Structure 1
Amino acid sequence: MDFNTVLDYVLVALMGAVGSILANRGIAVFNDGLRPIMPEYFEGKIDRKELAATSFAVSFGLVIGMGIPVSIGTTVLLAHSILLTDDIIGTWTPDTKWGSAIAGGIGAIYGVALMLGLSSIVKLFNAMPVNFMPALSLLGTPILLAFAAFPALAVASQHGAKKGIITMGVTFVTWLVVSKFAIWKLANGTTIQLDPTGMALLVAMIMMIFFAAQVKSTGDSNTQLVNVFAERVSRIKHNWIWLSLMGGIITVAASQLFFAVGVLPQQLLVKGDVNGAIFATVARAIGFVPLVFSTAIVTGVYATAGTTLIFAIGMLLKGQPILAFVAGFAWMWIEVQALNVTAKGLDRFPGIRDMGEHIRTALSDTIAIALLIGSAMACSKMAGNVGYFWVIGWWLLNRKLKKPLVDLAVGPIAAIALGVLLNLLRVVGLF
């Protein structure tokens, strides 16, 4: 193995170990849905078994349904495949010093096993009679453009359908105008064109923030929140060294271009569009700042990857692991120290503070429908029109289950299952 390959394995082991320790000690978790549950455990309202069960319930479906399936067949791991599992490992191990050590060990083993396992799965698929890996590459195709629609959905959710429709219309017009007119030919014959999708997303994000900023404050609720939960903010600051260490590790992984925080940045990295991935990551991070900071203040538990801007920092410093570690370490420290100041500043614009939850829901809905369409395209490539029947059928049946998979998971799992089924049918001569 060359140096970069060895470094990649070391990084996933460290992310697995440190991330699991953070969750075990209640310092940070990656799943936004788990973070509000942590104070219930700190205050004795739920026990360790209930915390572990909750962690498993809110994270496992995303790991097996989105994190791992979306990562299979690519050179870029989705953060969910490692960091959500860290949450599970950390909460399932005892809340003791030995428990932290056990969590770190299991997390490190899992990280390496994930890398080895994905490589083995890819080799296995390539050796099958029906190689459906090329079809799986279609899973993320709709996401690249559909992602630009999420700000309109967030605006509609927060400010009403009328403003959402206006945002959608402006987004579409931006895409058309940039596609047709943002093309320049230089004297040497080189053609430069702005990315229509990226510009459409940028305009949509600006409109989303503009509408949110119009909501005026009616009091000092967020400042009071900081005062009431000062002890919890202090708890996060007390653990800055652990958070900064994790920030440095994740930033190095991002600088190696094999680790992405979201499906859109991951798909862009797979296509070699590093600049596009950086922009998509920054756009995502901006939207999640209010959510991450407000939940941290209330719970005393930070996000494993912070506001996720460290992923963009890492990509900007690609191929420079030492500098990336220092930058990520420092940036995470800045985020932690800025909790009080940022929270008080957000009080002036409560609409922006409240925007985080709407963005989270809009992102989830947008990616879910895009993955469903991408899965249908993949299945159609594998088996013709019957592929649509397969994906739509399982999507609808999933809703009738007592414990349905999250919407994000259904399409990718159905596509992989169809690929395996087709190979079995080929063996018995039915396909």
Structure 2
Amino acid sequence: MEMTLIILIGAVAAVLANMNIAVFNDGLRPIVSEHVEGRMTRRDLAFTAFAMSFGLVIGFGIPFTLSASIILVHSILLGTDIIGLLTPKNKWGTPLAAVIGGAYGAGLLIGLEGFVKLFDYLPLNFLEAMGAVGTPVVVTFMAFPALAVAMQFSVKKGVITFIVSALIRQLAVWLNESGVLTISGTTVTLNQEGMALITGMIFLLVFAMKEKAEEGSSIDLAAVFSDKVAKIRKNVVFFMIIGGLIAAATNLWIMAGDPISLNLLAEGKATDAGIAAAARALGFIPLVASTAIATGVYSPVGFTLIFVVGFFSPNVWVALIGGVIIIFIEVMLLSSIARFLDKYPGVRNSGENIRSAMTKLLEVALLIGGANAANAIAPGFGFFFIAGFYLLNEAAGRPIVRIAVGPVGAIAVGIIANILVALGIMNIPQ
């Protein structure tokens, strides 16, 4: 079932990209629209897609996938964007995109399993140490709403949000340790990071909804781009299919939608991963809705709520049906969401700030996690390598995105350490 799901996801996603219906890379949607409207050739579109997505697949998707042994959705869907747009949009090009997309998905899953087994044959098995990459992410994720508030409203409000979130977290810790909360004699354990996260998101939403559009300044996005909305609705069946497949794959713990929920899932915390995915989805609704309405090109994962469905569903079949339903509802509500975003520009603007805050937090957390993992693999040398790698990457103009420096650096240290152990230059850490 796992292999079937991944093959189908790869095939359907590649077809959606090939037919200019949906692409995963947010920055590609306006460019695909340029091609659809005749202002860009297919060749230029293909090269642009490759340039925008290939580096993210290699430098972002694959390292996270390997570090947790769970497929980060970016690994497969950024790849299918490239595959779909590189193949011609005709009677033989579209089926070819499906075949290559399916094979690419299968290759990811097979390669992942084979890669995990390969570690047992290495002089120094550093797979377990790689788990340290995501450890800081789980703890620090609760701080992103406070950062988003500071970026959008004021540092003062951000500090207040952070302090209250931290207090709520410690209150949850105290309640868990004291065993005060009980239901029918059973002690209830609260997730302290989850409680802090919810608190921060409440502050963010309250501040955002206080910003209303000035009279006469609102533009009805749904009315202006009604033909684009109609095009997306016409293709809703395709979105329902891939939405159900991805939700099912998430339920089986073989896929996650972002590094935070991926690391939580790797620790067996599916509920916490679902909460993190829900918080992330809130930030993506304004972006996906706005770009979809303006371009007529949707995202194969919609507002990313299908991952939340996958995490919280009791079994794979409920997840499959839930994914189908939720993405259908999303598409049907596009016009209403656009009008809501016009009414509350603070909510619309918060989407960009939420994503920026998450990115900044991940850059710091994953750098710390990568350094810890690298140092566990090669004590002393690990810290030295990550620090030098980060600084040289900055000096070179960031050929590797900051968010990937920690995981990529840790993998590099693992490879170097194995070479040194094989040469007898380094002892295996105890």
Work out whether residues 254 and 311 of structure 1, in 8 Å CA contact, stay in contact via their aligned partners in 2.
yes
Question: Which residue in 2 is equivalent to 1:368?
Answer: 363
Match of 1:212 in 2: 208
Q: Secondary structure at the match of 1:146?
A: helix
Distance 1:108 1:334 in 2: 27
- Please, which of 160, 163, 168 is the counterpart of residue 154 of structure 2? 160
Q: Please say which of residues 116-125 and 397-406 is displaced more in the overlay.
A: 397-406
Counterpart of 2:94 (choices 96, 100, 110) is 100
Aligned counterpart for 2:389 among listed residues 364, 385, 394: 394
- Structure 1 position 261 matched with structure 2 position 257: yes
Deviates more, 1:106-115 or 1:161-170: 161-170
Does 1:89 pair with 2:83?
Answer: yes
For the residue of structure 2 that corresponds to 1:34, the secondary structure is helix
| Corresponding letter in the other structure for 1:138 | A
| Match in the other structure for 1:196 | 192
Match of 1:288 among 284, 287, 290: 284
- Measure, in 1, the Cα distance between the counterparts of 2:211 and 2:384: 45
Alpha-carbon distance between aligned partners in 2 of 1:84 and 1:318, rounded to the nearest angstrom: 29
What's the offset of the Cα at 1:122?
1.2
Q: How far apart are 1:189 and its partner, in Å? A: 7.7
**CA, structure 1 residues 402+109, in 2 after alignment: closer, same or farther (shift >3 Å)?**
same
Q: Is 1:134 matched with 2:128?
A: yes
| 1:237 to partner: Cα distance | 0.7
In the TM superposition, residue 297 of structure 1 has moved relative to its aligned partner by: 0.7
1:187–1:216 CA distance, 2 compared to 1 (3 A): closer
Does residue 277 (structure 1) correspond to residue 305 (structure 2)? The answer is no
TM-score, normalised to structure 2, is 0.94
Contact kept in structure 2, 1:222 and 1:344, CA below 8 Å: no
Q: Does 1:233 align with 2:217?
A: no
Deviations 1:43-102 (A, max 9, x none): 233222322222223222222222221121534221111111111111111122322211
Aligned to 1:332: 327
> 1:296 touches 1:302 (CA, 8 Å); kept in 2?
yes
Q: Distance in 2 between matches of 1:141 and 1:386?
A: 20
Offset, 1:167: 1.6
Distance 1:382 1:320, change over 3 A: closer
Per-residue deviation, 1:241 = 1.0
> In 2, distance between residues paired with 1:219 and 1:112?
53
What TM-score, normalized by structure 1, do the two folds share?
A: 0.94
Aligned to 2:312: 316
Question: Could you tell me how far 1:361 is from its partner in structure 2?
Answer: 1.3
* Partner-residue secondary structure (3-state), 2:343: coil
Contact 2:67–2:407 (Cα < 8 Å) also in 1? no
| Structure-2 change in CA distance of 1:242 and 1:191 (3 Å) | same
User: What is the letter of the counterpart of residue 316 of structure 1?
Assistant: F
14, 17, 21: which one aligns with 2:8: 14
Match status 1:78 vs 2:83: no
Among candidates 362, 365, 380, match of residue 385 of structure 1? 380
Q: Deviations over 1:18-48 (max 9, x none)?
A: 0111111111111222222222222233222
Does the 8 A contact of 1:65 with 1:408 survive in 2?
no
1:407 aligns with 2:407: no
**SS, match of residue 92 in structure 2:** helix
Q: Cα offset for 1:114? A: 0.5
C-alpha distance in 2, partners of 1:405/1:222? 39
- Taking only aligned residues, the RMSD between alpha carbons, in angstroms, comes to 1.8
Cα distance per residue 1:212-236 (max 9 Å; x no partner): 1111111466653222211111111
TM-fit CA distance, 1:299: 1.2
Quote the offset at 1:113 in angstroms. 0.6
Distance 2:14 2:141 in 1: 31
Residue by residue, what CA displacement relative to the aligned partner does 1:272-299 show, whole Å, maximum 9, x if unpaired? Answer: 1121111111111122111111111111
Counterpart of 1:193 in 2: which secondary structure?
coil
The AA in structure 2 aligned to 1:160 is S
Structure 2 distance, partners of 1:168, 1:248, is 36
The one-letter code of the counterpart of 1:66 is F
CA distance in 2, matches of 1:301, 1:58: 17
C-alpha deviations, 1:224-276, integer Å up to 9, x for none? 32222111111111111111111111111122122111112111211111211
Among 354, 360, 364, the residue aligned to 1:359: 354
Partner of 2:188: helix, strand, or coil? strand
C-alpha change, 1:278 and 1:131, in structure 2 (3 Å) is same
Q: Structure 1's 364 and 403: CA in aligned 2 closer, same or farther, altered over 3 A?
A: closer
Residues in 2 aligned to 1:187 and 1:257: alpha-carbon distance in whole angstroms: 30
Higher mean C-alpha deviation, range 31-40 or range 235-244:
31-40
Higher alpha-carbon deviation: 135-144 or 33-42 = 33-42
Equivalent residue number for residue 149 of structure 1: 143
**Contact 2:69/2:112 (<8 A) preserved:** no
Identity %: 43
Q: Which residue in 2 is equivalent to 1:3? A: none
Distance 1:47 1:159 in 2: 42
Do residues 170 (structure 1) and 164 (structure 2) align? yes
Distance 1:367 1:127 in 2: 32
Contact 1:220–1:347 under 8 Å retained in 2: no
Counterpart of 1:352 in structure 2: which amino acid?
V
Q: Does 1:35 align with 2:29?
A: yes
CA distance in 2, matches of 1:73, 1:284: 21
User: Equivalent residue for 1:4?
Assistant: none
Corresponding residue pairs, total: 424
Check the 8 A contact 2:19/2:89 in 1, yes or no: yes
